[in-house]
């Protein structure tokens, strides 16, 4: 299985530290570091995914849908919470061109809290999905996740399910969409990045 380079670097550093402790002090002192090194390799796993065909929006992250907002005055929103056991590689929910990418400093509240959506540190992508359609999604830092890495930049074109970033440890993703999207996800649903359909694009006469 593919492993993100960050995980390999952490594992190598921890293993080296463990070897030093075991060699110079006590053979057993390195064991906890070896265990953490193995956890890092597992945590930073990056499995291959195949996205479904069709005019659909897929989950940008593994995790659990903790909130769905359907409002006429505000963009619809689907929020996904990632715990420490989820894959933390983020993927593009739809195909399109990145027209904006911004980083916002903020707090590090527990990512499952509603306040985290507005107050926490985050990186926000704005995608032009074609045909006048747009999608905005934010990779939100959490209490433990203190760093978000983005793989793309403004002007880049992405396809549905393509890797676009990495969230280190527990975090949250908020996906905002226009009225041309019909939400298919449900609160409490477990989703898989790049695979689970969370919304479908509808033509004008089908909009509710």
User: Which pLDDT score is estimated for 6?
Assistant: 85
pLDDT, one tens digit per residue, over 116-139 is: 777 788 899 999 998 888 899 999
**Which of the residues 67, 72, 171, 182 is marked catalytic?**
171
Domain covering 56-206 in this structure, CATH number: 2.70.70.10
User: Which pLDDT score is estimated for 184?
Assistant: 95
What whole-number distance in Å separates Cα of residue 53 and Cα of residue 208?
Answer: 24
Helix (H) or strand (E) holding 16: helix 5-24
pLDDT, one tens digit per residue, over 31-83 is: 999 999 999 899 899 999 999 998 999 999 999 999 999 866 778 999 999 98
Structure tokens at 130: 């074609």
User: Which pLDDT score is estimated for 145?
Assistant: 54
For 38, phi then psi, to 5°, come to -65, -40
Asked if pLDDT for residue 205 goes beyond 60, the answer is no
Q: Are 83 and 63 in contact (CB under 8 A)?
A: yes
Summary mean pLDDT of the chain? 89
User: Which pLDDT score is estimated for 156?
Assistant: 95
Q: Which of 127, 109, 129, 104 is nearest to 172 (CA)?
A: 109
Q: Is 204 a catalytic residue?
A: no
pLDDT, one tens digit per residue, over 80-101 is: 999 888 999 999 999 999 999 9
User: Which pLDDT score is estimated for 188?
Assistant: 96
Exposed (0-12), middle (13-18) or buried (19+): which is 92, by Cβ within 10 Å? buried
The share of the chain scoring above pLDDT 70, in percent, equals 92
Identify how many contiguous H helices and E strands the chain contains and give both numbers. 3, 14
User: Which pLDDT score is estimated for 208?
Assistant: 42
Q: What's the pTM?
A: 0.86
User: Which pLDDT score is estimated for 204?
Assistant: 52
Average pLDDT over residues 5-15: 92
The number of beta carbons lying within 10 Å of the beta carbon of residue 160 is 20
């Amino acid at each position: 299985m593919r492993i993100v380079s960050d995980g390999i670097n952490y594992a190598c550093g921890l293993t080296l530290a463990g070897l030093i402790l075991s060699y110079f002090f006590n053979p057993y002192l390195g064991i906890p570091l070896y265990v953490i090194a193995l956890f890092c390799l597992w945590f930073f796993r990056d499995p291959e995914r195949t996205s479904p065909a069709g005019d659909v929006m897929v989950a940008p992250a593994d995790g659990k849908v903790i909130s769905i907002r359907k409002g006429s005055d505000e963009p619809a929103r689907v929020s996904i919470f990632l715990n420490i056991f989820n894959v933390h590689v983020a993927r593009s929910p739809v195909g399109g061109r990145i027209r904006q990418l911004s980083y916002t400093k903020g707090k590090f509240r527990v990512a499952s809290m509603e306040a985290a959506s507005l107050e926490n540190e985050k990186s926000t992508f704005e995608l032009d999905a074609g045909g006048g359609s747009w999608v905005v999604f934010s990779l939100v830092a959490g209490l433990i996740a203190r760093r978000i890495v983005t793989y793309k930049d403004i002007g880049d074109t992405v396809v549905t399910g393509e890797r676009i970033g990495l969230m280190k440890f527990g975090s949250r993703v908020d996906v905002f969409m226009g009225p041309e999207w019909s939400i298919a996800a449900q609160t409490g649903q477990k989703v898989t990045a790049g695979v689970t359909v969370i919304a479908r694009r509808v033509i004008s006469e089908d909009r509710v």
